[in-house]
């Protein structure tokens, strides 16, 4: 007659062979004979977990724990059952209990890391994975997941070390090779990425991630044929062909191959018409190409499929700023629509107001703690607009907590970090997690440098993590959000009477609302090219999204009055030959001879400024004016002819020209715009005089005075918070 131990041993044999039903039957037989048999209850729970029945697994594992609370394995597997049910906080507690019972329990540490990572608590997950790997030599899975968590945190060099360690533990770990390939691609190491992906493909020739990585690496190396071949193999290998095309489109988009990216997204949609992400991405391509109507249609279709896509609704609101005839009332309505859909549902969770800041007994004014959230603490327009004032804020009684929604770093990043009392990378955190993090830091004021732009986090501000929230510099309109208390502006951007069209309280700075930080090493100012006998050259340096038939009509009139003149168009999207051809066709239809037009694509920033110096007069688009491009062009001594409207985004060049003291550039209508451009182009003496004086005036004036702006900004923020 078989003993209980014999039955348990037979059940274990079935379990180890993968025969879960037979194993479960054996464990039940043991429990029928000995109801409190802890090991049988635990193993029955494990069998249910492996069979995809986590709730039943939890029931039996808890029964085992009732019989024996000191078994670490029981608590660890309970954590796995809870995680499988989405009960992550409980899973963390169970895994921690297993570790308390056995501090060197590597598997429990690994499982703890997985639960913490799923909660978005990645710093804690990193610690758990490191401890798991330290306690079990050769634990490749722990090192692999460590690499994934570090990648999500933006700690890419450490992530590469973790992936390499995982591969050293297990050279056949195909996912480690593939993920390392993705990481190296994000670091701009195309050759190394290609090699890592090749190793993954040697192990699994149909691995879609490795194939897609190779396509992107070939693109970065300029090998279009090899990229196309790899992308096609990825599409064949991936069961979800639409997803493979979606990822290929993203790779092509990063390489400025806009038309090909659009084709990839279109194929994805042909394969999966309800793929909202492909619609949204295609809309961004069309927007970048300057096809506004196509972009808007794509965004609206994506929102029909996925009304929860807040980024798409942000983009839809942003698109309104470019439309001819745009009004302040229309801009406010478009942005309030975002808040109605995505902000309003979060208002019930706003913390209750805590009252005014307390003044110490000695009467001294306490420092104001100001948090700034941005993905652009770097060489980006928002960073260049803010850095000088931010560097000066501490001298005006401001403590700075900077929340960096980015993984890149450059010289400007170092300057922001140097002035921050607290620097927190947040790119890996969800909106809810980031809002909780900010709320725990308790800043008096939280500033947004992105709004509805790329890398913006309106979903964080909609949760109201700070008592006072203010928009500044990175977005050129109202945010439309009830959660935003203030908007930093100036009298040029928001003249008296326009406040009614802003959801926020308008805080006007005395000069411009930004302080420009020109790049080190900018080319020296040179005489106007036309002085050397060359034809007069007009320049356009803004994105194609800002162009429309009204702008092209004005350009055609200008060029018609000066038959020998030329036009230089320089913007990143023109790196795509098909996009450039599209715009040559549009110019021709507008009556502009394309033989008089030179098109230039992407370049370095300093090369870009050299191109600015190569024109005599710059032409500003309307109704969305230039901002950084205007400042760069003025820094090179070149006048910018502008036609402002009523919206914030139409008045950048007006503001900068006024503050810099440049006269004769601001038009009141399209005819005046044409006359001003022709007037400048036919007056080389005035052009030369402006070049000789403008840079020095800008450098010495309020347009570049960060301390002056910081003083006004600090005063406005303190008043708002009092």
- Give domain status of residue 445, yes or no: yes
Domain residues for the domain of 227 are 4-237
pLDDT at residue 437, as a whole number: 92
pLDDT at residue 247, as a whole number: 72
- Give domain status of residue 35, yes or no: yes
Burial 313-340 (b: 16+ CB within 10 A, else e): bbbbbbbbbbbeebebeebbebbbebbe
Instruction: Identify whether the C-beta of residue 539 lies closer than 8 Å to the C-beta of residue 598.
Output: no
Residue 600 shares a structural domain with residue 695: yes
- Give domain status of residue 628, yes or no: yes
pLDDT tens for each residue of 307-360: 999 999 999 999 999 999 999 999 999 999 999 999 999 999 998 877 666 665
Look up residue 537 and give its two tokens: 């050259």
- Give domain status of residue 354, yes or no: no
Give the integer Cα–Cα distance in Å for 328 and 649.
Answer: 10
- The dihedral of CA 710, 518, 380, 433: what is its sign? negative
Count H helices and E strands in the chain, helices first: 32, 12
Distance of CA 351 to the CA centre of its chain: 27
Instruction: Identify whether the C-beta of residue 622 lies closer than 8 Å to the C-beta of residue 555.
Output: no
Instruction: Identify whether the C-beta of residue 575 lies closer than 8 Å to the C-beta of residue 601.
Output: yes
Q: Which residue has the tokens 């249910």?
A: 48
What is the total residue count of the chain?
722
Instruction: Identify whether the C-beta of residue 665 lies closer than 8 Å to the C-beta of residue 617.
Output: no
Give the integer Cα–Cα distance in Å for 586 and 48.
Answer: 65
CATH of the domain at 491: 3.40.50.11380
* C-alpha closest to that of 255 among 224, 296, 287: 224
Which segments of the chain have a pLDDT < 50?
none
Give the integer Cα–Cα distance in Å for 29 and 144.
Answer: 40
Which of 207, 237, 267 is the endpoint of a domain? 237
Instruction: Identify whether the C-beta of residue 424 lies closer than 8 Å to the C-beta of residue 308.
Output: no
Residue 629 shares a structural domain with residue 714: no
Residue 501 shares a structural domain with residue 538: no
Residue 700 shares a structural domain with residue 712: no
Look up residue 363 and give its two tokens: 């009467």
- Give domain status of residue 336, yes or no: no
- Give domain status of residue 596, yes or no: yes
Q: Which residue has the tokens 């308790």?
A: 442
Instruction: Identify whether the C-beta of residue 166 lies closer than 8 Å to the C-beta of residue 144.
Output: yes
Please name the residue ranges forming H helices in 590-669: 605-613, 628-635, 652-660
CATH of the domain at 604: 3.40.50.2000
Residue 167 shares a structural domain with residue 218: yes
Residue 554 shares a structural domain with residue 442: no
DSSP 49-99: HHTT-HHHHHHHHHHHHHH-TT-HHHHHHHHHHHHHTT-HHHHHHHHHHHH
Give the integer Cα–Cα distance in Å for 113 and 49.
Answer: 19
Distance of CA 247 to the CA centre of its chain: 17
Task: Provide the edge-to-edge strand list for the sheet that holds 398-404.
Answer: 422-425, 398-404, 368-374, 445-448, 468-471, 486-490, 505-509
Q: Which helix (H) or strand (E) holds 347?
A: none
Give the integer Cα–Cα distance in Å for 457 and 439.
Answer: 15
- The dihedral of CA 329, 381, 313, 374: what is its sign? negative
Q: Phi and psi of 88, rounded to 5°? A: -70, -40
Which of 187, 205, 237 is the endpoint of a domain? 237
pLDDT at residue 126, as a whole number: 95
Is pTM beyond 0.85 here? no
* C-alpha closest to that of 56 among 70, 41, 66: 41
Residue 67 shares a structural domain with residue 149: yes
Residue 653 shares a structural domain with residue 713: no
- Give domain status of residue 289, yes or no: no
pLDDT at residue 336, as a whole number: 97
Look up residue 686 and give its two tokens: 């005035």
- Give domain status of residue 325, yes or no: no
pLDDT at residue 722, as a whole number: 87
Which of 203, 237, 271 is the endpoint of a domain? 237
Residue 634 shares a structural domain with residue 693: yes
How many domains does the structure of the chain reveal?
3
Say how many C-beta atoms besides its own lie within 10 A of residue 634's C-beta: 28
Residue 437 shares a structural domain with residue 553: no
Residue 189 shares a structural domain with residue 105: yes
pLDDT at residue 462, as a whole number: 97
In the DSSP assignment, the letter for residue 272 is -
Give the integer Cα–Cα distance in Å for 156 and 162.
Answer: 10
Residue 676 shares a structural domain with residue 713: no
């Amino acid at each position: 007659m078989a003993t209980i131990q014999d039955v348990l041993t037979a059940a274990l044999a079935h379990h180890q062979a993968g025969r879960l039903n037979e194993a479960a039957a054996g464990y039940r037989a043991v429990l029928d004979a000995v109801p409190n048999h802890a090991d049988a209850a635990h193993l029955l729970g494990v069998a249910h977990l492996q069979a995809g029945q986590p709730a039943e697994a939890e029931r039996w594992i808890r029964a085992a724990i009732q019989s024996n609370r000191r078994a670490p394995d029981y608590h660890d597997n309970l954590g796995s059952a809870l995680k499988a049910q989405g009960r992550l906080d409980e899973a963390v507690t169970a895994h921690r209990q297993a570790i308390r019972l056995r501090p060197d329990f590597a598997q429990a540490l690994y499982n703890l890391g997985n639960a913490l990572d799923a909660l978005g608590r990645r710093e804690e997950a990193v610690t758990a994975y490191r401890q798991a790997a330290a306690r079990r030599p050769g634990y490749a899975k722990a090192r692999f997941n460590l690499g994934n968590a570090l990648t999500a945190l933006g700690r890419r060099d450490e992530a590469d070390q973790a992936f390499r360690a995982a591969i050293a533990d297990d050279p056949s770990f195909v996912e480690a090779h593939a993920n390392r390939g993705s990481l190296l691609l994000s670091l701009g190491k195309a050759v190394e990425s290609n090699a890592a992906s090749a190793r993954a493909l040697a192990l699994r020739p149909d691995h879609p991630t490795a194939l897609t990585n190779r396509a992107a690496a070939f693109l970065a190396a300029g090998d279009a044929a090899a990229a196309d071949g790899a992308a096609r193999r990825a599409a064949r290998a991936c069961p979800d062909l639409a997803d493979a095309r979606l990822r290929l489109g993203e790779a092509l988009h990063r390489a400025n191959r806009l038309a090909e990216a659009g084709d990839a997204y279109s194929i994805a949609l042909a394969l999966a018409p309800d793929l909202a992400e492909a619609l949204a991405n295609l809309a961004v391509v069309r927007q970048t190409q300057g096809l506004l109507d196509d972009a808007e249609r794509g965004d609206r279709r994506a929102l029909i499929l996925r009304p929860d896509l807040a980024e798409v609704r942000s983009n839809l609101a942003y698109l309104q700023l470019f439309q001819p005839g745009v009004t302040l009332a229309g801009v406010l309505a478009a942005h309030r629509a975002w808040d109605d859909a995505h902000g309003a549902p979060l208002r019930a969770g706003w913390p209750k107001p805590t009252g005014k800041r307390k003044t110490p007994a000695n009467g001294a004014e306490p420092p104001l703690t100001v948090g700034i959230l941005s993905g652009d603490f770097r060489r980006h327009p928002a960073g260049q607009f803010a850095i000088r004032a931010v560097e000066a804020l501490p001298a005006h009684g401001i403590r700075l907590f900077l929340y960096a929604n980015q993984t890149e770093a450059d010289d400007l990043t170092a300057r922001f970090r140097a002035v921050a009392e607290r620097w927190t990378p947040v790119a890996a955190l969800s909106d809810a997690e980031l809002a909780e993090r900010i709320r725990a830091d308790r800043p008096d004021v939280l500033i947004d440098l992105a709004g509805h732009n790329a890398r913006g986090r309106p979903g964080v501000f909609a949760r109201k993590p700070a008592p006072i929230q203010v928009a500044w510099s990175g977005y050129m309109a109202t945010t439309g959000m009830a959660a935003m208390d203030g908007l930093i502006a100036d009298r040029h951007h928001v003249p008296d009477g326009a406040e009614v069209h802003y959801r926020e309280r308008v805080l006007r700075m005395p000069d411009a609302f930004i302080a420009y930080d020109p790049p080190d090493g900018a080319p020296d100012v040179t005489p106007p090219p036309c002085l050397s006998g060359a034809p007069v050259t007009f320049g356009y340096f803004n994105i194609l999204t800002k162009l429309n038939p009204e702008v092209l009509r004005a350009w055609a009139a200008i060029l018609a009055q000066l038959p020998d003149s030329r036009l230089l168009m320089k913007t990143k999207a023109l790196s795509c030959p098909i996009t450039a051809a599209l715009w040559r066709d549009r110019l021709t239809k507008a009556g502009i001879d394309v033989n008089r037009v030179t098109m230039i694509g992407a370049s370095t920033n300093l090369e870009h400024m050299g191109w600015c110096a190569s024109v005599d007069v710059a032409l500003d688009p309307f109704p969305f004016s230039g901002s950084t491009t205007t400042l760069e062009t003025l820094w090179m001594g070149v006048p910018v002819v502008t036609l402002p409207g009523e919206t914030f985004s139409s008045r950048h060049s007006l503001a900068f020209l006024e503050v810099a003291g440049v006269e004769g550039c601001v038009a009141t209508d399209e005819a005046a715009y044409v006359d001003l451009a022709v007037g400048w182009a036919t007056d080389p003496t005035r052009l030369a005089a402006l070049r000789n004086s403008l840079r020095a005036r800008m450098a010495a004036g309020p347009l570049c005075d960060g301390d002056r702006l910081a003083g006004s900004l600090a005063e406005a923020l303190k008043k708002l918070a009092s």
